[in-house]
């Protein structure tokens, strides 16, 4: 039998599958099909599958691949990396180490719990690119988007394009209409065949709530509206430090609220620190053949008591804000 975990960071939910337990190495096609089946409905679905395996890199404790719900592969996932950091930390009894991701070896570190029974990790988000060479976009008559108006996207918003290294488009908005209808229309347009972002793009709209306080909502590539996007909140924090024209690093700690919770970010010169919960909600036990034949109703599902603690933590945050 093998086990999977259902986890979340800021309610951005994933399944974690550790390939180390399997008697064979699944093909990419098998991983994609499994992701699509698992995320469609099992345990109320998820935004993707985090595939953990051994790393060949001598400086890394493990490797993470991120498969979006639609089967596309992302180079990074900030909320997901926190949960994988926790998984590897518990597996190997280490509290600070590196994880191999598609484009970078990233440092992760256990943090103080956010509240009772709400474990937290801090993760490195890097490398950062603004340049079109690393972040393909077309027909925008520019090599970088930094607070740039783009008539084709909106008649009143300005945009940043930042890859961390997965691609993010960011705009600071004031009206709720923009956080809802405009974001959905633009996110949908840029994540189907379009003239601007050939690989699609994660679209993040942010409201500035106060000094170093943001609310970020994301329409995610390969997913759609999500409860939270860790790399999106990190890229938005960097855009915020540029937007405020502060230019000194590291930035003060920034509190980023999202529809699923809250994270803290600190913007350093070449990387961003993302700190938030790494919550394990369910352990799923299933045989290898049942898993790869999608016989999920044969699985045994054990619920942890962490979701209740997380909800309590969020309710307290809301009470403090009122």
Ligand X SMILES: N[C@@H](CCC[C@H](N)C(=O)O)C(=O)O
Known catalytic residues? Answer: 77, 229
- Contact (Cβ atoms closer than 8 angstroms) between residue 207 and residue 174: yes
| Structure tokens belonging to residue 34 | 């499994």
Cα–Cα distance for residue pair 166/168, rounded to 1 Å: 7
Number of H helices and E strands in the chain, helices first, is: 7, 19
Applying CB under 6 A, among 111, 231, 251, 277 the residue interacting with ligand X is 231
Q: Residues 32, 37, 43, CA angle at the centre, nearest 5°?
A: 130
Of 81-120, binders to ligand X (CB under 6 A) are none
Segment lying near ligand X (by CB under 6 A), choices 66-74, 98-106, 262-270, 285-293: 66-74
Of 18-37, binders to ligand X (CB under 6 A) are none
The residues, any chain, with a CB within 8 Å of residue 147's CB and separated by 6 or more, are 158, 159, 160, 242, 243
Applying CB under 6 A, among 62, 119, 187, 222 the residue interacting with ligand X is 222
- Contact (Cβ atoms closer than 8 angstroms) between residue 48 and residue 80: yes
Residue carrying the six token digits 């049942």: 290
Task: Determine how many CB atoms are found less than 10 A away from the CB of residue 209.
Answer: 13
Closest CB 199 distance from ligand X, rounded Å? 9
Applying CB under 6 A, among 51, 67, 229, 238 the residue interacting with ligand X is 229
277 binds ligand X, rule: CB under 6 A? no
Q: Is 202 annotated as a binding residue?
A: yes
273 binds ligand X, rule: CB under 6 A? no
Cα–Cα distance for residue pair 259/15, rounded to 1 Å: 20
Closest CB 222 distance from ligand X, rounded Å? 5
- Contact (Cβ atoms closer than 8 angstroms) between residue 81 and residue 106: yes
126 binds ligand X, rule: CB under 6 A? no
Closest CB 19 distance from ligand X, rounded Å? 20
Closest CB 208 distance from ligand X, rounded Å? 21
For 47, phi and psi rounded to 5 degrees? -85, -10
Segment lying near ligand X (by CB under 6 A), choices 227-235, 239-247, 265-273, 304-312: 227-235
Binding site for ligand X (CB under 6 A): 12, 47, 66, 68, 74, 77-80, 166, 202, 220-223, 226, 229-231
């Amino acid at each position: 039998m093998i086990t999977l975990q259902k986890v979340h960071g800021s309610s951005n939910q994933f399944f974690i599958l550790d390939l180390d337990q399997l008697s064979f190495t699944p093909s990419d096609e098998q991983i994609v099909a499994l992701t699509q089946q698992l995320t469609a409905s099992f345990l109320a679905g998820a935004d993707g599958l985090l595939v953990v395996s051994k790393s060949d890199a001598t400086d890394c404790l493990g490797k993470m691949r991120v498969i979006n719900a639609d089967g596309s592969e992302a180079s990074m996932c900030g909320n997901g990396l926190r949960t994988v950091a926790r998984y590897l930390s518990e597996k190997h009894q280490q509290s600070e180490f590196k994880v191999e991701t598609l484009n970078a070896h990233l440092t992760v570190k256990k943090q103080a719990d956010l509240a009772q029974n709400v474990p937290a990790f801090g993760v490195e988000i890097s490398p950062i690119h603004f340049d079109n060479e690393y972040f393909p976009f077309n027909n925008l008559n520019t090599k970088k988007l930094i607070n740039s108006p783009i008539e084709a996207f909106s008649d009143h918003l300005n945009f940043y394009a930042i890859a961390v290294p997965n691609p993010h488009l960011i705009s600071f908005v004031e009206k709720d209409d923009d956080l809802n209808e405009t974001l959905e229309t633009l996110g949908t347009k840029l994540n189907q065949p379009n003239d601007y972002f050939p690989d699609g793009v994660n679209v993040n709209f942010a409201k500035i709530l106060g000094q170093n306080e943001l609310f970020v909502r994301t329409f995610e590539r390969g997913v759609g509206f999500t409860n939270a996007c860790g790399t999106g909140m990190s890229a938005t924090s960097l855009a915020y430090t540029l937007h405020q024209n502060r230019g000194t690093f590291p930035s003060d700690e920034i509190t980023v609220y999202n529809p699923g919770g809250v994270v803290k970010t600190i913007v350093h010169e070449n990387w961003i620190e993302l700190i938030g919960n790494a919550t394990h909600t369910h352990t799923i036990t299933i045989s290898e053949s049942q898993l790869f034949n999608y016989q999920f109703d044969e699985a045994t599902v054990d619920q942890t008591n962490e979701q209740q603690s997380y909800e309590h933590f969020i309710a307290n945050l809301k009470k403090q804000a009122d």
